[in-house]
Amino acid sequence: MKLELGNININKIIKSDENKIADHTLYINEQKIIDFVLEDDRISKCTIEIANPGDKTRITPVKDVIEPRCKVDSTAEIFPGVIGKMSGVGEGRTHVLKGCAVMTVGKIVGFQEGIVDMSGPGAEQTPFSKLHNICLVLEPIEGLDPHIYEEAARFAGLKVGSLLGKLGETIEPDDMTTYETQPLLKQIEQYPDLPKVGYVYMLQTQGLLHDTYVYGADAKHIIPTILYPTEVMDGAILSGNCVSACDKNTTYHHLNNPVIHDLYSRHGKDINFMGVIITNETVYLADKVRSSDFSSKIAEYLGLDGVIITQEGFGNPDTDLIMNCKKIEEKQIKTVIVTDEYAGRDGASQSLADADPLADAVVTGGNANEVIVLPPMEKLIGQLDYVDVIAGGFDGSLREDGSIEVELQAITGATNEIGFNLTSAKGY
């Protein structure tokens, strides 16, 4: 598959009487977007706020982040099987509104949502502080079941992301990059002397709002399979989960997975990037054994020499991570795992809930238990009611002066386990 990604740089967002892009500025008609969102009768109210880099603004609780995109000259649609009709993606041409995002904000369900500060020390912990964010502040109708509300909020963000993305369909991108992965035998023949490297992409699928969708299918019901890397870059995988904010893979993360981008950057130079093996993070032991058996078997079947494995979440998924690593290593395939740590506020506790001597090459996104004080902000988008109960918060987190003392766990993207964050370290 060959995919052309064209970036249209967005430097400013302005509310206007029409939706358009001109001179690297995204103009949005607030009321048209609100009316579009409220076509879903599960949402009772939607307001739109714009948050720019450097603003003294706090956004919480953040649910998902979506990068506006559209397919160009294609029968396929972005976000297939969910917003667009079911069709394959990963080839053709896609235009991206780079530098901006749609961020869904709303009533918390459970306790695992996040905070994004647009300035100050909190902004230094999240990549989303660098974007111009269109925040959809959503309220569900009274009595709506939590999982239905989460679905409605997810759909709202994806729909608006698609709507705005289409504004760039006829605009000439500022830059264009082509990514290509050929069918297996041709790919091997192209660079026969380079080590064959694959990517085992663990998707959060523990249920109870810990879900990820592949072409619209709930990934907890799949067995590990193979995707072209370009499919991931083109909207085949979408977030639907409420895991701890620091290591949640939002939809933006999936679209901009840095492991895939970095492997492509070395493809044909010192590695032969063969493709992506997606697997799930299940709850029961038998399911974990089945999925890790399949991921290791596929890695062997592809003839891989090396594998990068990333996880999402912590605790229970640590078992899946180590199972995948151990079984792939036992097939004489070198592995590197990417994770984060929950090592206690002093950093002295065991970092992962599971371990094995074969997991001897690790990249970490940092310690999610590290404590940070977020100063008061001039503007709030969303609500602060839940700060004391979100994962990473505690009784008294929200102080009288408006400052917040929390663990990094509460900041969206702070210790992201695909490496899409601003802090990392390596250990061998």
Active site residues: 242
Grouping H, G, I as helix, E, B as strand and the rest as coil, residue 32 is: helix
Query: Which DSSP helix (H) or strand (E) runs through 109?
Result: none
Residue 63, φ and ψ in degrees, nearest 5: -105, -55
CA-closest candidate to residue 50, choices 98, 9, 15, 24: 15
CA-closest candidate to residue 50, choices 105, 110, 88, 3: 105
Residue 19 CB partners (closer than 8 Å, separation 6+)? 27, 28, 29, 32, 33, 163, 164, 167
Residue 346 CB partners (closer than 8 Å, separation 6+)? none
> How is residue 407 written in tokens?
């663990």
CA-closest candidate to residue 367, choices 426, 408, 397: 408
Grouping H, G, I as helix, E, B as strand and the rest as coil, residue 69 is: strand
Q: How many CB atoms lie within 10 A of CB 395?
A: 7
- Give bridge partners of residue 106 from the DSSP assignment: 138
CB burial of 327-350 (b: ≥16 within 10 Å; e: otherwise) equals: bbbeeebebbbbbbbbbeeeeeee
Residue 52 CB partners (closer than 8 Å, separation 6+)? 12, 13, 118, 132, 133
Q: What is the DSSP string of 169-197?
A: TTSPPSEEEEEE---HHHHHHHSTTSPEE
Nearest-angstrom CA–CA distance, 419 and 413: 9
The C-alpha torsion from 367 through 361 and 318 to 204, rounded to 10°, is 90
Q: How many CB atoms lie within 10 A of CB 409?
A: 25
The C-alpha torsion from 107 through 112 and 118 to 120, rounded to 10°, is 130
Grouping H, G, I as helix, E, B as strand and the rest as coil, residue 269 is: coil
- Burial (CB count within 10 angstroms: exposed 0-12, middle 13-18, buried 19+), residue 269: exposed
